[in-house]
Amino acid sequence: MSNSASEDPGLDEAPILHIDLDAFFASVEVLDDPSLVGRPVIVGGSGPRGVVAACTYEARMFGVHSAMPSSVARRKCPDAVFLDGRFHRYTEESRRLHGILGSFTPLVEGISLDEAFLDVTGGVHLFGHGTRIGEAIRDRVCREMSLPCSVGVGRSKLMAKLASKAAKPRASRTGIEPGPGVVEVRAADELAFLHPLPVRALWGIGPVTERRLLALGVTTVGDLAELPPDALERYLGAATGRHLAELSRGVDDRPVVPEQAAKSIGHEET
């Protein structure tokens, strides 16, 4: 794994990027109201069934996270600023993001308002290798949108998305640790990066599947990779077992499918 663009890894190393705006909804609110800078801000429903859609890292220091019931978030961080979502603003900023991304490659697949995959294979000769493109995108997002952004670079969607998560800041009770901003997972480092991760890091593993795997003693992606694929297929079903067996070994050949806009707003996860 590398945070540096000083070495050219070659075209086959990093054709896929995952771009993710950090704490997007909350970051837009702070952008529009500078008095919120440095404060715990929580965006989401305020009613009895409301949930957190996004929160600043200052709120995360208190254990608040997306998809948490707003009532729980209020108990954890009573001094937070609670705001209703303004989806028209988030859509405006998402369009600006996609305009920037489209200037680097036409192969942009939006997967939510605040994140997208890019296949930059065709832009390497013009912009440099994948990590340099990621740094250039992050710089433009910062300059033109004034929003924080994390970029993951890898040979597949799986690796790029996991790398972007590793590029993000981290909040704990003791403070906020800045992230590197851009992280690349090179081919030779894929399994060393992937296998120590908790098994829930893989696509397709929700709470139910995670509990079933924990019952087998599987806690990390590496544990999962040690199970025979046919045993996984019997235990989880043919399609799910085969899919997870491949992902646990770093196999993900899904292409970037260009779209005009993000599919849906969904719930922000990061």
Give the active site residues: 115
DSSP H/E element including 126: helix 124-127
Cβ contacts of 56-65, under 8 Å, gap ≥ 24: 56/23, 56/26, 56/27, 56/30, 57/22, 57/23, 57/169, 57/171, 57/176, 58/171, 58/176, 59/26, 60/171, 60/176, 61/171, 61/172, 61/173, 61/175, 61/176, 62/173, 64/40
Cβ contacts of 106-112, under 8 Å, gap ≥ 24: 106/258, 107/256, 107/258, 108/256, 108/258, 108/259, 109/256, 109/257, 109/258, 109/259, 110/259, 110/261, 110/262, 110/263, 111/262, 111/263, 112/262, 112/263, 112/264, 112/265, 112/266, 112/268
Q: What is the DSSP string of 23-78?
A: THHHHHHHHH-GGGTTS-EEEE--STT-BEEEE-HHHHTTT--TTSBHHHHHHH-T
